[in-house]
Chains A and B, each alone.
Chain A
Amino acid sequence: EPEVTQTPSHQVTQMGQEVILRCVPISNHLYFYWYRQILGQKVEFLVSFYNNEISEKSEIFDDQFSVERPDGSNFTLKIRSTKLEDSAMYFCASRGRGLNTGELFFGEGSRLTVL
């Protein structure tokens, strides 16, 4: 069964460092998302991406964040200068072409710990 894969599963970084989280969405999907979940809290929307551009972003997704689909298969989230409050589980998700469902397929997440 096709699945969304994310790397790394866990990254520890120092405050102020740049981090890149990688995702390989399901191959025939067209819509891509990043969500995050601070430990014990709800899942929060960060950004959606379609046709090589951002469709929508939340207030969390400030200038420190960027997304890219560099090669047609990977979808990356970059945090330029990490802060302590960026510590969270980051989930990538993708959605297929169908217009009748909003079903998102999530990866297993990348845990980011900022020290």
Chain B
Amino acid sequence: GESVGLHLPTLSVQEGDNSIINCAYSNSASDYFIWYKQESGKGPQFIIDIRSNMDKRQGQRVTVLLNKTVKHLSLQIAATQPGDSAVYFCAENLYNFNKFYFGSGTKLNVKP
């Protein structure tokens, strides 16, 4: 099956700094990607998505970059806040939305 993995299991940043969370995927045919945030004891929460026909998409304080050449996805969080502390997962999808493959997750620690 598809393989989605994250480079860094834990990322610590200072409050106010920018954060970059990376993700690698193995299926070049995947055409849709989502970043989810999971706070302790809660279910994953949608942050932002991007289709394979785009390289970049911006939301509120977040930007997702997609590099299809190297099958790499990143999530940039601007001016990181303590409330951003969570585990972040990327997920990929192929053709329809019936099944998403999640990556291993990166834990983001925001230091005050």
A interface residues with partner B (beta carbon < 8 Å):
4, 31, 35, 41-45, 48, 50, 55-56, 58, 91, 93, 95, 101-109
13 A-B pairs whose Cβ atoms sit less than 8 Å apart in the complex: A4-B43, A31-B97, A42-B89, A42-B105, A43-B102, A48-B99, A55-B98, A91-B43, A95-B97, A102-B32, A104-B44, A108-B41, A109-B43
The reply to whether B102 and A44 contact each other, CB–CB distance below 8 Å, is yes
Closest to A3 in B: B43
Closest to A100 in B: B51
Q: A56–B2 Cα gap in the complex (Å)? A: 15
Q: A4–B49 Cα gap in the complex (Å)? A: 20
Q: A55–B99 Cα gap in the complex (Å)? A: 9
Task: State whether A104 and B46 are in contact (beta carbons under 8 Å apart), knowing that A31-B97, A42-B104, A45-B101 are contacts in the complex.
Answer: yes
Smallest CB separation, B97 vs chain A (Å): 4
Q: How large is the interface on B (under 10, 10 to 19, 20 to 34, 35 or more residues)?
A: 20 to 34
Contacts of A45 in B (CB 8 A): 99-102
Q: A56–B104 Cα gap in the complex (Å)? A: 22
Task: State whether A102 and B43 are in contact (beta carbons under 8 Å apart), knowing that A42-B104, A45-B100 are contacts in the complex.
Answer: no
B42 at the interface (CB under 8 A from A): yes
The reply to whether A106 and B43 contact each other, CB–CB distance below 8 Å, is yes
Contacts of B105 in A (CB 8 A): 42
Among A44, A50, A101: residue with most chain B CB under 10 A: A101
B66 at the interface (CB under 8 A from A): no
The reply to whether A102 and B103 contact each other, CB–CB distance below 8 Å, is no
Starting from the known contacts A102-B49, A107-B43, A108-B41, 4 additional A-B residue pairs (CB-CB under 8 Å) come to: A42-B103, A45-B102, A56-B98, A91-B44
The reply to whether B43 and A103 contact each other, CB–CB distance below 8 Å, is no
Closest to B4 in A: A42
Task: State whether A103 and B89 are in contact (beta carbons under 8 Å apart), knowing that A42-B104, A56-B98, A108-B41 are contacts in the complex.
Answer: no
